[in-house]
Amino acid sequence: MSGAPAFADWLEIANLKARYCRFLDTKDWDGFAGLFTEGFILDATASGGPRIEGRDAAIASVRTSIEAAKTAHQIHSPEIEVDEDEARAIWAMQDRLLWPGGRTLTGFGHYHERYVREDGVWKIAESRLTRLNLEMTQPSG
């Protein structure tokens, strides 16, 4: 993979990840699902979560876990490498989740992702989340 991807590919992948955050936080589940390949792999095992194969199963799991929460996902400082119709990226990330009743989650770490170009469109094929810090609070009482 080249260390200096074509700017158009780099920008398309950056916009794809920006839509990921927006669709996730606005609960646009149809838009969110459209960002992934059918065989998408979600791997959160490094941060205590599941490894899920298949777009529909991964979206269902994410939806169930955060549907009731107000969320803010932020990504920055991408390291993107593109090779033809496949790319890899590492994104610094931070997320904040607030559930009714007072439970919260605040964390930061990295997304390690693989992308493929399908019919001229970049999609997320695999996403692995690693956490550097995770703070969860439960309401007292």
Domains belonging to the chain, first-starting first, are 7-132 (3.10.450.50)
Residue 5 pLDDT exceeds 70: no
Residue 1 pLDDT exceeds 90: no
Please state the three-class secondary structure of the chain as a single string.
CECCCCHHHHHHHHHHHHHHHHHHHHCCHHHHHCCEEEEEEEECHHHCCCEEECHHHHHHHHHHHHCCCEEEEEEEEEEEEEECCEEEEEEEEEEEEECCCCCEEEEEEEEEEEEEEECCEEEEEEEEEEEEEEEEECCCC
User: Which of the four pLDDT bands, split at 50, 70 and 90, describes residue 141?
Assistant: low
